[in-house]
């Protein structure tokens, strides 16, 4: 019984992060603020990635949490 429990815990620990919000909903939130999505990856807290404003501007890092709340941060890339 103990082996089965340990195996179940190991499988759960290796499973991909559940962002709690669909990628489509996260992208819709970003588009509503006129941001172009460059990349998005699931995280345990939601989706995180890079965006740029549609009318031009600097690349920013963004997180859309499980509730659809967006948080922007400056990008460290000096490209």
Q: Where are the beta strands (DSSP E) in the chain?
A: 35-43, 46-53, 60-65, 70-74
What is the band of 12 on the pLDDT scale with cuts at 50, 70, 90?
Answer: low
Instruction: List CB contacts of 13: < 8 A, sequence separation 6 or more.
Output: none
Q: What is the pLDDT of residue 4?
A: 62
How far is Cα of residue 49 from the mean position of the Cα atoms in its chain?
6
Q: Which two tokens stand for residue 66?
A: 């499980």
pLDDT at 20 over 70: yes
Reduced to 3 states, what is the DSSP secondary structure of residue 54? coil
């Amino acid at each position: 019984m103990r082996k089965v429990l340990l195996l179940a815990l190991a499988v759960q620990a290796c499973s991909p992060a559940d962002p709690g919000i669909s990628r489509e909903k996260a992208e819709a939130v970003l588009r509503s603020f006129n941001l172009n999505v460059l990349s998005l990856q699931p995280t345990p807290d939601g989706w995180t990635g890079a965006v740029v404003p549609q009318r031009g501007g600097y690349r920013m890092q963004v997180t859309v949490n499980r509730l659809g709340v967006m948080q922007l941060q400056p990008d460290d890339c000096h490209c």
